[in-house]
Amino acid sequence: MTPSLFQTVGVIGKRRDPRVTDTLGRLCALLREHRRDVLVETETARLLPSGSCPTASREELASRCQLIVVIGGDGTLLDAGRSLASSGVPILGVNQGRLGFLVDVRPEDMAATLAALFRGEYIRETRLVLEARVRRADGGLSLPWMAVNDVVIRNQAAIRMVEFATFLASDVGDGWEFISQHRADGFIVSTATGSTAYALSGGGPVVHPALAALALVPICPHTLTDRPIVVPASRTVRIVLGANESGATMTCDGQIGTALSPSDAVEIRRSPQDLVLLHPRHYSYFELLRDKLDWGRNPVGMLKK
């Protein structure tokens, strides 16, 4: 007998949000109808009746599951993505949030989407992930911080600018190529995935997810000619704080982060492990942009299929 596709499925829901409970219950029932083994993340299981499904930690989900289904908004998927990317387990997102660039399955479409997925009818997509390390002025080096959307440097005080310099790793040897000196409210290093998030609000470009590129976006720069640029993701970005800059922070995906000290350097590189997303077979990136960003529709008859 041929083994079932995605035999063990993990489930992660938006934390402490009872609004996802009904969808969680229906998802678990659908998976059992398809004779899949279901593991619910320990924290998520608190939203379900006690003992209704086997539970597992994030680490166990990564090692035991062939598929993870995330129910919530983009923030829930970003949180799951950071913790699961290194395992290579694919993620399917069910939208129980608001905007939903990453969680693109509607709850009412779960049954049809899962049936098609278990027949092998889906789109598999990889998204690059960032690793950020803080090289302290005293010589210390932090463990890597992971980011799916972006790494942001800014001051904790909302009305204070930050002074910093940016560099790009040389493609010849071990040196650094100086980009610019900046005075701005902050700086965003964004993946293509994050190009429709904070970076877009800051005037950055929309970057197609198939491109291995990073958008470098200054936030409200003091000099109006300090514009966003796009660089290859194969080269490390380095941001060095000024010697008098106190109160700055680094955040990853707007969810985790650390405080920075004067003259600290943040080095951001592409992680060796990409995030794997699964989409319904009718998924279209540009249809998603038209829907979420209210782009223009194709007039009848303008383009033939």
CATH for 130-270, among 3.40.50.150, 2.60.200.30, 3.10.180.10, 1.20.120.420?
2.60.200.30
Q: What is the pLDDT of residue 298?
A: 67
Q: Which residues are catalytic?
A: 74
What does the pLDDT profile of the chain (305 residues) look like in tens digits?
Answer: 346 789 999 999 998 888 899 999 999 999 999 999 999 999 999 999 988 899 999 999 999 999 999 999 999 999 999 999 999 999 999 999 777 899 999 999 999 999 999 999 999 999 999 999 999 999 999 999 999 999 999 998 777 899 999 999 998 878 999 999 999 999 999 999 999 999 999 999 999 999 999 999 999 999 989 999 999 999 999 999 999 999 999 999 999 999 999 999 999 999 999 999 999 999 999 999 999 898 987 665 566 55
Q: What is the pLDDT of residue 1?
A: 38
CATH number of 8-127+274-293: 3.40.50.10330
Nearest partner of 206 among 192, 216, 219, 220, judged by Cα: 192
pTM of this prediction? 0.93
Domains 8-127+274-293 and 130-270 share a fold: no
Instruction: Output the average pLDDT for the chain.
Output: 93
| Surface-to-core class of residue 26, CB atoms within 10 Å of its CB (0-12 exposed, 13-18 middle, 19+ buried) | middle
Q: State the Cα–Cα distance between residues 224 and 300, nearest whole angstrom.
A: 41
Domain boundaries, the chain: 8-127+274-293, 130-270
Beta pairing, strands 55-56 & 37-41: parallel
Q: State the Cα–Cα distance between residues 67 and 175, nearest whole angstrom.
A: 41
